[in-house]
A and B are shown apart, each in its own frame.
Chain A
């Protein structure tokens, strides 16, 4: 299987995630779409690691997974804090900072 196919699949998943971030309004689903984009990047990293026969790309992918876990923890903490303050769980209505 040529590695180009893996990279095209990665590009497709990344585009779907980027479109989802723009279309959806629930911050939970936006976090899920960011996960999609990170995973697409992971797939590209692992594919390039295979292309070079070098383990560095896989290590990079593991570090990306750690950073994604941190991002999920902080993002979900923010959503829980929003819910506690009875604010709307909708990024379109949270526009007090936009002036």
Chain B
């Protein structure tokens, strides 16, 4: 174990790598602090910069954006009552009332320290648990991989916001997009409609940038035009710093939140937002002053921020060990791994063990950078919200164009990016979520090839998937979770509850 960690440090022990992690963390904080730009969007936009890097600095850079983005969301949540990222939504509940009381500095400090502690604890959990899960997963055959693929797709669809049927439909869209090009078993062209550029299938990068960055850009621009020059009220970073009493009150909440975050993050398709609300609820239940929650409780900020950053390491566990992303950011990062020639899954721990160790340590370093940068920039980061949208959005547009072109020096990819951006925006408006589309695209070929290999081996019978105990358990769990989600959704509908389908 110690040798693994040392080898991870060795992988990161060069100036390029350290600088990339630091740059990624800084970018992440800035992106997170900009309302509307999520860590997923940030990672998608800056993914093309990593094509020419080695895997560890590339993943360290993207990991830095992820961790920084999770923390950055709290800055605007506290100062302008708008979470920079969905994961920061729980921080608004107590962070903003604290700012209204003139204690914004204290809230920002707590958000920073809780985020760092949460991030560090989740990295340590990742280091311990990922190799154990990976060694168990090494015993899996094609049947279990097929079952895992189906499980991953169904759980992502089920946990996507709102309507589960739309989430599952999004999965189907992703799977169909993934079918375009060469058949994974026979190599015959499929669904190309006679158009030669379709032979290679859709490349991951333009699809990813289109779905997550361009569609978000269109949404942001449409909102900006609708709102005009209406400005948010920004509270000053004022007040006293954290006292010993605040620490004493919050330390257990932070530790508990970090564990909740790590655990929830490790459940595929959940992520920081869910973890933050669960931790917030638990903190309120366990607190000696539950009446203060919602009116400016420092424990509330500690609970949500430790959990949402605690989820960062947790989400890497299923992604690295099983090839099933923990949330939408790790889904994008899974794409980054594939581009680097690394296939996420248990074999990664055998074939590229040093790279995996390097990724753990890079995440650890990024949390330390976050502490240093947060400490220095605590009073300044909110200023990024003051950048006019008409300056920021053209820059994002330019990054999307050049980024999608740079992957293959192909204008077809730029066209794909625009097409998927517009499709993504329209689907979002129809309440169809984006993450399952990406998951369908990534998991489609793994699921299909394992299904067909299994069926070919048994002469076309599906029975052998059911005859294997682990496979049967995973498939049964898939059916159970789907049935549970559908029943819950239909019950909510029957009660007349409105479903929020916006991602």
The judgment on whether A and B are partners is no
